[in-house]
Structure 1
């Protein structure tokens, strides 16, 4: 049992989610493109979990191992270069192995709930990853025996619940995207739009941690409310914040 083995188990178990398959796809792509796509997908998971940096080489190590497993088919020659694709049967077989056989993976799968988040936070501490400056996770002792902070609670949404939140996100984005800037600050508009869209993807996925929603959607909405006062954008953002506060106790 080790930090690296637990990281590998957490990321392989993610491969059993539809959001992973949707992000990576089953088409042929260059080996380098496949590698970049996997690194981006896994890195996004760690960023959502409150880490800022320091995990890059550890993620790359898992990705390089993963590309050599049954989950991927590889072809090519001296002229085409190396190409690969995600194979559904191999993907499901690898996930099944980690759910039922692998020591770390099977334990995480049996425990369910927030166990993977607890493990990931402790993996990050052991490997020296840097927590996001806005995250309080590095000041909160985590122990699998006592659970995780409320902000790491996992939420699953039904389709009608997704629609209830996604529609007002779209409304805010439609109001914001025509703007040239926010408060005249370079890059702020793009930053807020990025957070809103990242939050929208969490809603569309139908499963997320409260902390990940706070770091994306909630932060973006708060920035709009603070900078637009009584304008239409602020009113729409404030309405959505109130909805999130009511449903999840955040905002």
Structure 2
């Protein structure tokens, strides 16, 4: 049993993460630090955080069924397999990373994820004006998937940037591909974490439920809250968590 204060913190962080992910993304800036602050070791916290936010990817993917239906099935299967392989490779890389080394990397990973989130709209706009680098689509997807399996923060922006850079002009298709490949690589990386026994199940299951409820709430709030406010909140949260982890290290 979790102590009541820890259970409240973890459930609140996961609920808020579900809301943020439904509106703008960035929920891992809340779930991962909350687990670490409750005493979960960094590698287990990262794995458990991935489990906590994983249900949201399914809903996001189902929301783009129409766009996915217009794409060649062979392409979707091929890229899904690449994302799956990368996600598992990233998870395995995390599992063989010494705990002390990963703890030292965490502030830098958070800083990178925050920067990607903050610069995302500008980056996508700039990339859309650039050249088509379609030949880099497969190796780029594999590298981004490895990163996503290792540390989930900023994954969506990296996938969107990759697809825009490689010639996808329709942002709805880009979003559909981003959500589908986030789903497969995240679920398979979580499966690797489960097999390896690094999931903290008591907080993980609590946070999964809370994040799912937060996702439903966020879907309603998305129609009312200005997206720019939410983005600023996510960026401020990411910077605060980054500063805290630099201070701890």
Q: TM-score over 0.5 for the alignment?
A: no
**Looking at both structures, which has the greater relative contact order when contacts are Cα pairs under 8 Å and sequence separation is at least 6?**
2
TM-score by structure 1 length?
A: 0.29
Q: Could you say which structure has the larger radius of gyration?
A: 1
- Greater fraction strand: 1
Q: Structure 2-normalised TM-score?
A: 0.29
